[in-house]
Amino acid sequence: MGVLENRFQDNVVVASMDKLLGWARSTSPWFFQFGLACCAIEMMATAASRYDLMRIGMIPRSSPRQADVMIVAGTVTMKMSLRVKKLYEQMADPKYVIAMGSCATSGGPYWQYGYHVLKGVDLVVPVDVYIPGCPPRPEALIEGLLKLQEKIQAERPLTKKIA
Amino acid sequence: MGVVHGDLMTLNIGPQHPSTHGVLRLKVKTDGEIISEVEPIIGYLHRCFEKHCENVSYEQVIPYTDRCDYIAAMNNNFGYAVTVEELMEIKVPERVEYIRVIVAELNRIASHLLALGAYGLDVGAFTPFLYMFRDRERILDLFETLCGARLLYNYIWVGGVSHDFPKGFVESVYSFLDYFEPKIEEYNELLTYNKIFIERTGDVGVMPPEVAVSYGVTGPNLRGSGVKWDIRKDEPYSIYEKFDFDIPVGVGEMGTVGDCWDRYYVRMLEMKESIKITRQALKGIPTGDVHQALPKKIRPPQGSIYKRTESPRGDLAYYIVSDGSPIPYRLKMRSPAFTALSVLGEISQGWMMSDVLAILGSLDIVLGEIDR
Amino acid sequence: MYRDFGTIFLFILIGIVLVYVPLLIQRLVAPKKHTPDKLSTYECGEESEGSAWVQFNIRFYVIALIFLIFDVEVVFLFPWAVVFQELGLLAFVEMSIFLLILIVGLAYVWKKGDLDWVKYRVKYASGRYRKVITEKEGTTVGSP
Amino acid sequence: MSSDQDKLIAESVEKALQGDMDAINNIEDRVTRSKAKAALVKAKREAKAAVAEETPRAEKSKAEEAPQAEQTFAAQVAVALEKKFPGSLDTEDVNGHIQMKGEQWYEAAQYLRDNPDFLFDSLQCVTGYDYGTSEDLEVRYNLHSMTHHHAIEIRIKIDRNDSKIPSVEQVWRIGDWFERETYDMYGIEFVGHSNMTRILCPEDWAGWPLRKDYETQEMYHGIVVPKVKDGWE
């Protein structure tokens, strides 16, 4: 962990430092271009001209090294699940995952007879925000991203975690 | 069959790549820049569509056909509904036929807009993507007023459509068409006749007609190579013989016939044709009840059928075998993007890395339909 | 005269500060989890096969050499171009002889064909890629 | 009251059979209208069943009168195939498709493509088919000619255990991927195929998914495949 990570008792100085760090990390989470299926088209539509994602400070990055948020947009199949796990590992910390659409959340319409479909991406990677919908509307995706930003701000990187 | 000297390394333009239009992996043998062999590896989005069709009833299959080709969901529904109707010999009222043609052509424009916008991205032009998506959003608004969904509609049912046109829908489609017609000229100035775009796509990835036919390539890719083949004209289904529109064919304006630029420009001209068809359909739309021919219980007679329709990517065909029960016994979807991708290995030997991605973009593939 | 050196020093100082302070913050605060998976090479989600240390085609080396020569030539041109007015005719003649020799070099390289970047065979070559083919069995199609 | 109701239903069904549906639509009372509609659907089904019986009789009679004259196109192809490859046809009745044996399929495919008056140059679709849990498999080829605009369907039955069939990859290049997909889904081995591996499922996937007797495997690389229901419902 970082030198100062989780090292201090919770007091007013550390709390305000946490608030500053949380704010700094949450303002512009670059999202990892990870379009799989129909939700990817809605993600593209959200990133395009009408529902612009850049006003929240989110720029599509295609390499895991530069991305903070991995938006799993679409159906994760068995063959793809190994790659999703590998790409998640290769992302730089602090990293977050958004499961966009009901396919990524729980297998979606393919849960019953989809022998090759992974029933929810949380079987392979830890997920922070689930966005329901098939495909979720761009407004739902933006709300999910704002929810993630609140979650990042609420994190306390510096205080010692009471295990 | 290497065409390049020097050692070869295997490189993966893998499942997660900005310009593979989804989860497609290209296993590439290259000497660093020139590609000697491309092997597309698919299956990363295989969602067992045909297994689902053997377990759910005929009405429930329609949302799955939406999700196969999620960029042109209406055309997939249309293909499926037409096939089952011919199997059950259902005669659909005239108004439903007109509604289906209008909606399918609007979805064709939206699909081409996305394909051309993303193709601009692959070749390095970012702004056309934003212009084309702005206009595509207007079509999605029309579909939203019509059936409530933006992308996957479940709108065209077997025997009819789910909702009739809301009040004032015809006027809004007219206003969209009048707004959209000059926009195509704007795209032409923006991208089609852009010097760099021509340099990147002219003479690149030439597909001779006999290679295209042998690989089963259909749709705009085949028409780009100069073969005049369109199911709406050659094997008319529904009421396409009522409208007069012509089939744009690649003529090699910026290079030889069948290069990437031709495939791009054929899609641009096809959008103009779709506007023409939609206008004629809007003018001649009769009144009537759209729910009239909706069968209570879809139970086709025993037998099998193979019917083809024209989706924005080519020949979309369904092979349905029914054993008289309300659940299909076997349903195979012949996907046009599947055959379009199979030709990539053949026509992109010897090109440079960036050219191969330009060729892939010009084939306009959708992985949901390839992997089914 | 010393004031100028002062500003240059300040300029360098600010440069160093602007670079190293963020790096320091990053070392203090950023989480560091070096798992073996994270350090594996990224190849679009796949395991990379084979090594990338292949013997590259010779043309990369030749182009690097040619670039080196003309780059050094430009480096000599810069100081000359700055004080070109005061030096008078003699400097001009010397520099043009220098340029002439290098232009002869350029002509030789051009004629020998080292500048056409790529010698490869496209399967269905036509149009402006037609002349690129050197091997015989490349199939060509369509009008040139 | 019900007698004239039935009369009303009967005659509106008659009119509807002639085609004008508004006879039924303008019956005011909802119950009778729905009864009328039900009667109409029953009447239609009987009419179709009656038609279905006549056609085989008609066909038979037609076959006796002019066996050669205006056969369907499929029959002409079948006859030509039988002449070129005696014994390659499985059964004689040709209603829209040709049933063939697998042995001479490669030569027959080449013949179908190169014969000037057939010219089937585009293989539209290859469909695997499973007759039942223990019956045999089948592969169905839909061929189409770009020049003559005619189409044909050829079916080849294969035994379930050693399912082998000659590959047509050299005849139509798209056969390469279609056959790999049929192999992937049904386990039908295409002899002579250049790269007989799975195309959609991962290489180490167990079982042939589209066969009727397929069970999903429990684990795949440590990931639970079927839906874990406890805790959800």
Q: Please give, rounded to a whole number of angstroms, the shortest distance from the CA of C66 to a CA of chain B.
A: 19
Q: Is residue C99 part of a domain?
A: no
Three-state DSSP class for D88? coil
Domains belonging to chain D, first-starting first, are: 2-54 (no CATH), 69-224 (3.30.460.80)
Q: Is residue C134 part of a domain?
A: yes
pLDDT higher at D30 or D152: D152
For residue range B271-320, list pLDDT tens digits in order.
Answer: 999 999 999 999 999 998 888 888 888 899 998 999 999 999 999 999 99
| Residue labelled with tokens 């489609």 | B173
pLDDT score recorded for residue B240 = 92
Q: Across chain D, what does the average pLDDT equal?
A: 77
User: pLDDT at residue D52 above 60?
Assistant: no
Q: D201–A79: do the CB atoms touch at under 8 Å? A: yes
Q: Is residue C129 part of a domain?
A: yes
Q: D130–B292: do the CB atoms touch at under 8 Å? A: no
Q: D174–B50: do the CB atoms touch at under 8 Å? A: no
Tokens (6 digits) for B200: 């990147």
- Section C102-125 average pLDDT: 80
Residue A138: band (very low, low, confident or very high) from pLDDT cuts 50, 70, 90: very high
Give the count of domains, chain C.
1
CA quadruple A133, A138, A140, A143: dihedral positive or negative? positive
The helix (run of H) or strand (run of E) holding residue D34 is: helix D30-65
Q: B44–A80: do the CB atoms touch at under 8 Å? A: yes
In this structure, whether the domain defined by B47-337+356-366 belongs to CATH 1.10.645.10 is answered with yes
Whether residue B236 has a cis bond before it, omega within 30° of 0: no
User: pLDDT at residue D74 above 90?
Assistant: no
pLDDT score recorded for residue B2 = 41
**Touching chains, A (3+ CB pairs < 8 A):** B, C, D
Q: Do chains C and A touch (3 or more CB pairs under 8 A)?
A: yes
pLDDT score recorded for residue B255 = 84
Q: Is residue C143 part of a domain?
A: yes
Q: B15–C46: do the CB atoms touch at under 8 Å? A: yes
Q: B256–C143: do the CB atoms touch at under 8 Å? A: yes
Residues of chain B where predicted confidence (pLDDT) is lower than 70: 1-6
pLDDT score recorded for residue A96 = 94
Tokens (6 digits) for D42: 């029953």
Q: B227–D130: do the CB atoms touch at under 8 Å? A: no
Residue D209 near chain A (CB below 8 Å): yes
Residues 6 or more apart whose Cβ sits within 8 Å of residue D117: D148
Domain that holds residue C143: 118-144
Q: D220–A78: do the CB atoms touch at under 8 Å? A: yes
Q: Please give, rounded to a whole number of angstroms, the shortest distance from the CA of A90 to a CA of chain C.
A: 4
Name the residue type at position B192. Answer: T
pLDDT score recorded for residue A1 = 59
Three-state DSSP class for C30? coil
Nearest to D122 by CA among B82, B43, B308: B308
Q: Is residue C70 part of a domain?
A: no
Contact A39, A81 (CB under 8 A): no
For residue range D95-116, list pLDDT tens digits in order.
Answer: 778 888 888 889 989 998 888 8
Question: By a Cβ cutoff of 8 Å, what residues of chain A touch chain B?
Answer: 33-38, 40-42, 44-45, 48-50, 60, 62, 74-75, 77, 79-80, 83, 87, 109-110, 112-117, 134-135, 137
pLDDT score recorded for residue A160 = 82
Q: B330–D142: do the CB atoms touch at under 8 Å? A: no
- Section D42-58 average pLDDT: 50
Nearest beta carbon to residue D225 from set A78, A79, A124: A78
Residues pairing with B307 in the sheet: B318
**Touching chains, C (3+ CB pairs < 8 A):** A, B
Number of alpha carbons in the 13 Å side-chain half-sphere of residue D203: 4
Q: Do chains D and C touch (3 or more CB pairs under 8 A)?
A: no
User: pLDDT at residue C33 above 60?
Assistant: yes
Alpha-carbon Rg for chain C, nearest whole angstrom, is 27
Nearest beta carbon to residue B3 from set C121, C129, C142: C121
Convert chain B into a string of H (helix), E (strand) and C (coil). CCCCCCCCEEEEECCCCCCCCCCCEEEEEECCCEEEEEEEECCCCCCCHHHHHCCCCHHHHHHHHHHHCCCCHHHHHHHHHHHHHHHHCCCCCHHHHHHHHHHHHHHHHHHHHHHHHHHHHHHCCCHHHHHHHHHHHHHHHHHHHHHCCCCCCCCEECCEECCCCCCCHHHHHHHHHHHHHHHHHHHHHHHHCCHHHHHHHCCCCCCCHHHHHHCCCCCHHHHHCCCCCCHHHHCCCCCHHHCCCCCCCCCCCCCCCCCHHHHHHHHHHHHHHHHHHHHHHHHCCCCCCCCCCCCCCCCCCCEEEEEEEEECCEEEEEEEEECCCCCCCEEEEECHHHHHHHCHHHHCCCCEHHHHHHHHHHHCCCHHHHHC
pLDDT score recorded for residue B101 = 95
- Section A14-29 average pLDDT: 90
Candidate ranges C14-18, D37-41, D97-101; pick with highest mean pLDDT = C14-18
To 5 degrees, how large is the angle CA B252–CA B253–CA B257? Answer: 5
